Structure 1
Amino acid sequence: MATTETTDSVQTRLLGREFTFPVEGTWLAYWLVMFRLVGGWWLLHAGLDKLVNWPFDAGWFVGGAAQGTSLGPFVTLFSDGAALTFVNIAIPIGQTMIGLGLILGALTRTAAFFGAFLMVFFYFINGETGGWAHGVVTGELLGLLVFGMIATLGAGRVLGVDGYLIRTEFVDKHPRLRYLIG
């Protein structure tokens, strides 16, 4: 079953189970737009800052900071050579594209998923290397939760490009695309 909506509820399937939850009032819509815009600006700004101050070098993060962390064995695979070059390009461009997607409300679920994906790495590596000096609730964890909320509630349908895309004949013929937009 694809995600469907009425004016007061959203019906969706998660992990094989059907869920319906109420979405009441215009304030929720404005709240979602605000979260989408703030989260989008956060990553757009981070990505553009790295592009403007090029060259960007993630070696300190994937090579140094990640060592000895739970994600270190995976992340340190990208610490030199072509893999580091890929990361040095992918991070600023990815942050910029995620930010633009969220601000425009275009491919919102996809953008929010990748925003949350980045936050997982930032959260665990920064937290573990700093000994959770600021506690376990950090900006990265809050970012992870915000991006998860944006993806789950389909915030792109409210004042976003996804609101238009979801009504197109193309998406109607390919309902699985609803998982990427919204």
Structure 2
Amino acid sequence: MATKRQPTERTLESTLLGRTVSFNYSDTWLAYSIFGLRLVMAWVFLQAGLAKLAEGGWGDPLAWSSAGFLNHAVPEANPLHGLFVSFGEYAAIVDPMVIFGQVLIGLALLFGAFFRFAALMGAIQMLFFWTAAWQGGLAAGFPMENGYFIDSSFVYMLLLFGLAAWGAGRLAGVDGTLEETSIVRSNPWLRYLLG
């Protein structure tokens, strides 16, 4: 007769900003929350990429293109305005990188495959979206549409960092299996891409 496993309460002890901190947590609820956040972030990327493909995809003159945003939506007061306008000149390269990047990142997050690499690529994309949203520079407090400094892209960037740090690809994901293969055991550096 199988016995039901009870949630285990554990204590995390660490140093944060030079101070020792500790708190109790349930490993079961932590696993569910990490898995849930992974699925939510997968949906954010997958939905964004598939929506762009549904608009006609890359290569169709009536399709979604980054050029309109890069050339017209980044405020001139943004200290990186010139950089984004220059990206607009290469929309034929940027568009498939955004569209297929979002779809592949979403799939990797969903299935927990090459999770850390996908989270890094997603965080870099969010970094670009976040800096493009600045409506001014440091002297203005990096204003955003709905406040200062923080927007959803920044939050997504931090969530991806946390999920990668926790190794969220191992929770009901492909990475847990990949890490047990002889290839990964022979090449431990591959673990930086997995997890």
Q: TM-score, normalised by structure 1?
A: 0.80
SS at match of 1:94: helix
Q: Which residue of 1 aligns with 2:48?
A: 46
Check the 8 A contact 1:67/1:73 in 2, yes or no. no
Partner of residue 108 from structure 1, selected from 103, 115, 119: 115
The percentage of aligned residue pairs carrying the same residue is 35
- Alpha-carbon RMSD across the aligned residues, in angstroms, is 2.3
Instruction: Tell me if the contact between 2:133 and 2:145 (Cα under 8 Å) persists in the aligned partners.
Output: no
Shift of 1:140: 1.1
Aligned length: 162
In the alignment, which residue of structure 2 is the partner of 1:161? 174
Are 1:59 and 2:70 matched, yes or no? no
Match of 2:133 among 126, 136, 139: 126
**In 2: Cα distance, 1:118 partner to 1:71 partner:** 15
Q: 1:67, CA displacement in angstroms?
A: 5.8
Query: Which segments of 5 or more consecutive residues in structure 2 lack a partner in the other structure?
Result: 1-9, 12-23, 57-62, 137-141
Q: For residue 127 of structure 1, give the secondary structure of its aligned residue in structure 2.
A: coil
Give me the whole-angstrom Cα distance separating, in 1, the residues matched to 2:79 and 2:183. Answer: 42
Kept in 1: contact 2:75–2:135 (CA 8 A): no
C-alpha displacement at 1:30, in angstroms?
A: 1.3
2:81 matched to 1:72? Answer: yes
Relative distance call for 1:23 and 1:161 in structure 2 (3 A) is farther
Contact 2:84 2:132 in 1 (8 A): no
Matched, 1:88 2:95: yes
Query: Which residue identity is paired with 1:122?
Result: F
Q: In structure 1, the residue corresponding to 2:65 is in which secondary structure?
A: coil
Supply the AA of the counterpart residue of 2:95. N
**Is residue 32 from structure 1 mapped to residue 34 from structure 2 by the alignment?**
yes
Distance in 1, matches of 2:130 and 2:43, equals 19
Q: Distance in 2 between matches of 1:48 and 1:28?
A: 30
Gaps of 5+ in 1: 1-7, 10-21
Question: Does the CA-based 8 Å contact 1:101-1:111 persist in structure 2?
Answer: yes
